[in-house]
Amino acid sequence: MKYITSVWGIGSDDLPAVRHFFSVGLQDTFFENGYNPTYSGCAPVRTIKSFIFKEFIMKKMVSAALMAAVFVTAFAGCKKKPVETADNSFEELKGRGVFVIGLDDSLPPMGFRNDDGAIVGFDIDLAKEVANRLGVEFKAQPIDWDAKELELSTGKIDCIWNGLTMTAEREAALTFTKPYLNNDQVLVVRKDGGINSLSDMEGKIVGVQSGSSAQKAIASNSAFADSVKETIFFKDNLTALNDLLVGGVDGVVMDSIVAAYDIAKSKKPLVIIEESLSKEKYGVAFRKGDVKLAAEVQKLLEEMAADGTAAAISMRWFGNDISVIGK
C-alpha cells in the first residue's frame, strides 16, 4: 500500500477502499451502484477504483512508449550494413561456357532474322566475335523488349546487345560498356505524305516502338509531343513502318541507323526528316554490378577496333566504318 499511496497519491482516508479493491479482485471494480456496501462512510468505490484504474493504464502506456523508444533507438544503432557481394560475373560466364545476349530480333541491321530464319546483324557479328575471343559459345536470345531489364535481372540473359540507347535512367540501373555507335531519333514519313518537318506533324498520328528510347525522345520534346494528335505504340519498328505505309500513322519516330538501313534495303517509299528529336549513343548493358564482365567485353571490343575487325563488320552492314569504339 505504501507503493500505491506514494506513486498514485492516494490519501490515508482512502486506504480501506483501496484494500477492498485489491482483495475482491477486478471483477468488483465496476459496481452498478458505485458504492461498496461492506464499507460505510467510505468514498464511492467507483470513484477510487476508476482513479486507480485510469492511473494504472496511463502509467502502463507511458512505460510502453518509453520502452518502444528505447527499442527503436537501440535497433537503429544496431542496423546491419548491406552485405557487399563479390563480382564473379566474368568467372561465372566462363564457367557456364556460353555468352547469351538478349535482343529484339526484328531490328535490322542490328539484330534480325534473315530469309532462312537465322538471327543476323551488326550487333550479332560483334557479339559473336567477342564470344569467340572469350572462348565460349554464343547464343542470341530473342526477348520481349518491354521486359528487357527483367530478362537481364533474372539471369535469363548475360547482357542486352541490340542497339540499346544509353540513357541516364538506364545507366543508373545497369552496367554499360563505353558507346560503340552514335545514333539519332528521327521521324520517318511517306514520300507522298506532304510532311517535310517535325512541325508538319501537328494534328497528325505518330507511331513508336513501345519501351524504346524513341518513346522517350517524343516525351522529352514537348513541342512535338503536344502538337501531334495521337501516339500509337507498336511492338517493333518494322510493324510501325508497315502501318505507316498503309496510312495507319502519319510518321514513325525511330533510330536513324535502323530507318536508313530498312529504307535502303527494302526500297520502301519512305524518307527520313532531316531534323533530329535527340542524339544518342549505343552501348552494351549488363546487370548492375557485373563490372568485370562488362570490362572484359569492352577490352575485347577495343582489341577488335585496333586490329580492324570492328571496321570490317561495320563495312559489311553499313558500307562504311561508323563505329566509335576506342574513338
Shared domain for 299 and 160, answered yes or no, is yes
Please indicate, yes or no, whether residues 154 and 303 belong to a single structural domain of this protein. yes
Residues 191 and 271 in one domain: yes
Q: How far apart are CA 327 and CA 321, in angstroms?
A: 12
List strands edge to edge, sheet with 111-113: 106-107, 111-113, 119-120
Q: Is residue 313 part of a domain?
A: yes
Last residue of a domain, one of 51, 77, 103: 77
The answer to whether residues 191 and 275 belong to one domain is yes
Shared domain for 115 and 142, answered yes or no, is: yes
Inter-CA distances, 132 with 138, 139, 297, Å: 8, 11, 11
- Residue 327 has a pLDDT of 86
The pTM of the full predicted model, rounded to 2 decimals, is 0.69
Tally of domains within the chain: 3
Assess whether 133 and 250 both reside in one domain. Answer: no
Within the chain, which residues score under 70 in pLDDT?
1-84
Quick one: pLDDT at residue 12? 52
pLDDT of residue 9: 46
| One domain for residues 268 and 192 | yes
State whether 40 and 163 are in the same domain. no
**pLDDT at position 67, please?**
56
The answer to whether residue 326 is domain-embedded is: no
Q: Based on the fold, state whether residues 32 and 66 are members of the same structural domain.
A: yes
Euclidean distance between CA atoms 239 and 259, whole angstroms: 12
Inside any domain, residue 305: yes
CA distance 222 to 217: 9
- C-beta atoms surrounding 303 within 10 Å: 16
Cell of 96: 557456364
In a domain, residue 133? The reply is yes
Contact 208, 252 (CB under 8 A): yes
Do 161 and 192 sit in the same domain of this protein?
no
* Domain annotation covers residue 83: no
Mark which of 49, 77, 105 sits at the end of a domain: 77
- Half-sphere exposure of residue 153, counting CA atoms within 13 Å on the CB side? 8
Range of the domain at 247: 184-279
Last residue of a domain, one of 77, 97, 113: 77
- CA 14 to CA 50: how far, in whole Å? 13
Q: What is the pLDDT of residue 63?
A: 54
Query: Are residue 110 and residue 171 in the same domain, yes or no?
Result: yes
In this prediction, residue 85 carries a pLDDT of 75
Same domain, 57 and 15: yes
Query: Which of 266, 260, 281, 262 shows the shortest CA–CA distance to 323?
Result: 281
Q: Are 104 and 111 in contact (CB under 8 A)?
A: yes
